[in-house]
A and B are shown apart, each in its own frame.
Chain A
Amino acid sequence: MIRAVRTCFIALACIAFSAVLAASIWAIAGDPGQGTLPQLLSENMSRSGVEHPVTAVLLNFRSYDTLLEIGVLVIAGIAGISMSKTTSLEDPELRTSDPLLYALQRWFIPLMLVLAGYLLWAGADRPGGAFQAGAVLAATGVLMRLGGIPMDFLRPGLLLRLGLVLGFSVFLLAAVVSVIGGDAFLAYPPDMTKPLILVIESVLTLSIAMVLLALFVSAPVNDAEDPEEGDPS
């Protein structure tokens, strides 16, 4: 009884929240747009080094956001692999061996790799880019993992950790290199902008795929216990 009353109460509160939010959106939508930002953006597109505005915002105008965002991904990856206490992140018991899946994989995996490469390349002038490509690449890895193809690099050794931070470190180096030339943090040298963005996007793709894959396969089960502070052990 109390539970039902509580549920009703929370439901009413949430409906009220949605209604207030919608009213607020309606009020804001009624005002004329203040945005001079899209116009400012199109004026500066020629100096950004890429043709697609979203990529320009992500990797040039607001690149600090993207740098920190990759940092967030790396943190999730680190925290994920810190949970695993086994030598390999991959648990052989969880492999499936299905001939149909295996046959399908031989078709899918090359196709997905090509698709990832295409998405990365397309990011310069149409929707696409490092994150989409990285997600497809990670999905390829997930498929391989489910299909039981051994993946030896997925053990919490130096190689995995290098892969996790490769994209982040290259991005960070590109960010700091301009400072030596007396420019602001994250300002790319004018004639190097396009190649730099391309390099950053490529290594980011690899690292994003690596983080997502590591998170997918981590957290395997084991019974190692860590006594807490103050526990008599």
Chain B
Amino acid sequence: MTSYLLYALAGAALCGIGLFGLLRLSHLLRKLLAFNIMGSGVFLIMVGLPQHQSGPDPVPQALVLTGIVVAIAATALAVVLIRRYYHQSGMTSLEGEAGSREGGPL
């Protein structure tokens, strides 16, 4: 077992934690943080798993860099939307919607 595999397994744990946060928490900023935790888990798996097999591999490193930029763009957009939503409705969660019972992202 190499340290790379440890990273990948830690990534699996982070994915579970992030998923729990995304499904269970109702505060939008927490949901967003949970998304970022899950994203970090995915990136760890993406880098750790191939490097465990064949040593340092620049391709997944570059992929993760691209993935991070995309995640930052999405996070920043989400923060802007959430701030504006909070300003207009005074709410920090999606719950309490008229004519609909459910919360959660789905």
Direct contact of A and B (CB under 8 A): yes
Chain A residues packing against B (C-beta within 8 Å) = 7, 10-11, 14-15, 17-18, 21-22, 25-26, 28-29, 31-35, 37-38, 41, 53-54, 56-58, 62, 65-66, 69-70, 72-73, 75-76, 79-80, 83, 131, 208, 211-212, 215-216, 218-219, 221
Q: Does the CB pair A33–B50 fall under 8 Å?
A: yes
In the complex, whether B33 has a CB less than 8 A from a CB of chain A is no
Q: Given the complex of chains A and B, what is the CA–CA distance between A53 and B56 in angstroms?
A: 11
Q: Given the complex of chains A and B, what is the CA–CA distance between A216 and B65 in angstroms?
A: 21
Q: Given the complex of chains A and B, what is the CA–CA distance between A1 and B8 in angstroms?
A: 36
Residue in chain B with minimal CB distance to A208: B69
Q: Does the CB pair B65–A54 fall under 8 Å?
A: yes
What 1/0 flags go to B5-22 for Cβ under 8 Å of A?
100110011011101100
A-B pairs, top 6 by smallest CB distance, nearest first, are A33-B53, A18-B16, A53-B58, A33-B54, A57-B62, A76-B73
Q: Does the CB pair A17–B66 fall under 8 Å?
A: no
CB contacts (< 8 Å) of A80 on chain B: these are: 76-77, 80
User: Could you show 9 A-B contacts with beta carbons less than 8 Å apart?
Assistant: A10-B20, A29-B53, A32-B53, A53-B58, A54-B65, A56-B58, A62-B59, A76-B74, A211-B73
CB contacts (< 8 Å) of B24 on chain A: these are: 7, 10-11
Q: Given the complex of chains A and B, what is the CA–CA distance between A75 and B84 in angstroms?
A: 17
Min Cβ gap A60→B in Å is 10
Q: Does the CB pair B16–A14 fall under 8 Å?
A: yes
Q: Given the complex of chains A and B, what is the CA–CA distance between A72 and B71 in angstroms?
A: 10
CB-contact partner of B66 in A22, A31, A69, A212, under 8 A? A69
- Apart from A21-B12, A38-B54, A219-B80, what are 20 other A-B pairs with CB-CB below 8 Å? A14-B16, A14-B20, A17-B16, A21-B45, A29-B5, A29-B8, A29-B52, A33-B54, A38-B57, A38-B59, A57-B62, A62-B62, A73-B69, A75-B77, A83-B81, A212-B72, A215-B76, A216-B76, A219-B84, A221-B87
Q: Contacts A37-B57, A41-B58, A80-B76; is A18 near B15 (CB within 8 Å)?
A: yes
CB contacts (< 8 Å) of A219 on chain B: these are: 79-80, 83-84
Q: Contacts A14-B20, A33-B54; is A131 near B65 (CB within 8 Å)?
A: yes
Residue in chain A with minimal CB distance to B81: A83
What 1/0 flags go to B77-93 for Cβ under 8 Å of A?
10111011001000000
Chain B residues packing against A (C-beta within 8 Å) = 5, 8-9, 12-13, 15-17, 19-20, 23-24, 45, 49-50, 52-59, 61-63, 65-66, 68-70, 72-74, 76-77, 79-81, 83-84, 87
Q: Given the complex of chains A and B, what is the CA–CA distance between A177 and B72 in angstroms?
A: 30
CB contacts (< 8 Å) of B49 on chain A: these are: 25, 28-29
